[in-house]
Amino acid sequence: MEKLFGTDGIRGMANVYPMTAEMAMNVGRALACISKKEGHMPRIIVGRDTRLSGDMFETAIISGICSMGVNAISVGVVPTPGIAFLTNSMRADAGVVISASHNPLQDNGIKIFNSDGFKLADEKETLIEEMIFFNNMHKLHPSPGELGKLSRMDDAAGRYIVFLKHAFPKELNPEGMKVVLDCANGATYRVAPATFLELGLQVTTLFDQPDGRNINANCGSQHPEALAQEVLRQKADVGFAFDGDGDRLIAVDEKGNVLTGDQILAICAVALKKEGMLTNNFVVRTVMSNMGLSVAFQKLGIDSVFANVGDRFVLEEMRACGAVIGGEDSGHLIFMQHHTTGDGLITALQLLAAMKKEGKPLSELARVMTVFPQVLINLDVQRKPDIEAVPEIIAAIKQAEEALGDKGRVLVRYSGTQNMCRVMVEGPTKEETQTYCRRIADVVEKMLA
């Protein structure tokens, strides 16, 4: 059977299969169908980011939901973790986010949360795929006149802001601290400034004028250069860059240095350990984590376990080993004591709390981890065969691994959300790392592009 769902929902170019209005309507219908229970009127929350195509997909999904006799609640533009919170808080049966996260404008996607605020279970994704691909849609129509109703929640952003503020320790006072926010012209453009202002910080906001076309455009977590410059210009204490749907965070210290997700993970893990809150002394990270994180955790006496790339895999591992914190080098961190999913704003608040507790600038806290030279090359590919089945690529990887020995590592993997192959190399020097990464990338491009 054909697959719709990847590692983070359904994603692709808007108006191109599978991200078509027709498919969005069918996903809405199928989700409504599996949400039905005897004697219960289901409610499904629907939100989106600021992409131009969001209106089209929102209308299609809501139409599909209502056509099945299920009620839909539209919350408008709200970050992805905000939808997870609202779904759980409102006791809704499911939550739908229309977003392609950090992807460029032309893409869009559909993410679905269970009623508990966690990502939709694999078995439910399979049920939706079966309904669509086995052409069972014609059997799903309810009785004539049995239609769902659409309502709109005008205070969704306000509810989410209150939730966020509760994630910052009450005993700490950040009043007077200067912060610069890069909202990526995305879903955080209203809630991020409001949250930090209400906590008493001095806030400068960048890229908070979404026009439907400028989301993630040379801004946000993928492009923190402008943020770093503004932090220096404002002489701010810290800068925070979010991605288009607000589930990732990249930070900039007071000296204009960009911190990776791994550095943020290390700082927050140390803070939890000092407070005795690092349950089981465990942190979950991914195979893409920098080697420097391994060295740091070893020195700090913190245990860690690897998960596959993707927040759902990080979360699965966290729940399995009882960890309260986990994340990816991309800046996607999960704090289980606060939320059920990755939340860039909660991550920013926890980093801010660590700064206040230690009474140290972010640049000093970041010294807990030395980042090994790392080069990542993303390559568009036409096909995704098993890497092990392409001898030329395996040979290039082996050559690099033998040359690096125990002073570096190589990781070649496909993106779970785009037609892309990622070649990552870490090594003892920047020059060696770039050389070997480029050699492997050239072979991948030749064989798969």
Catalytic center residues: 101
From the list 261, 323, 324, the residue with the least C-alpha distance to 293 is 261
Do the Cβ atoms of 96 and 74 come closer than 8 Å? no
Sign for the CA dihedral angle at 83, 9, 168, 234 comes to negative
Q: List the one residue out of 120, 50, 121 whose CA is nearest residue 87.
A: 120
In DSSP notation, 203-246 reads EEEES----SS-TTTT-GGG--HHHHHHHHHHT-SEEEEE-TTS
Could you tell me which of 6, 173, 153 has the C-alpha nearest to residue 86? Answer: 153
Q: Is 372 left (phi over 0), alpha (psi -120 to 50) or beta?
A: beta
Yes or no: say if 156 and 75 are a contact pair by the CB < 8 Å rule: yes
Q: What is the CA 314 to chain-centroid distance, rounded?
A: 11
CA torsion sign for 251, 102, 233, 179 is negative
Q: Give first-to-last CA distance, the chain, whole Å.
A: 26
| Burial category of 391 from C-beta neighbours within 10 Å (exposed 0-12, middle 13-18, buried 19 and up) | exposed
Which residue matches tokens 């209502």? 66
Show Cβ contacts of residue 416 under 8 Å, excluding neighbours closer than 6 positions: 6, 7, 8, 309, 310
CB 279 within 8 A of CB 323: yes
- Strands, DSSP E only, in 273-402? 282-286, 303-307, 325-327, 333-335, 374-380
Nearest 5°: the CA angle 66, 72, 74 is 130
Token output for 90: 């409102």
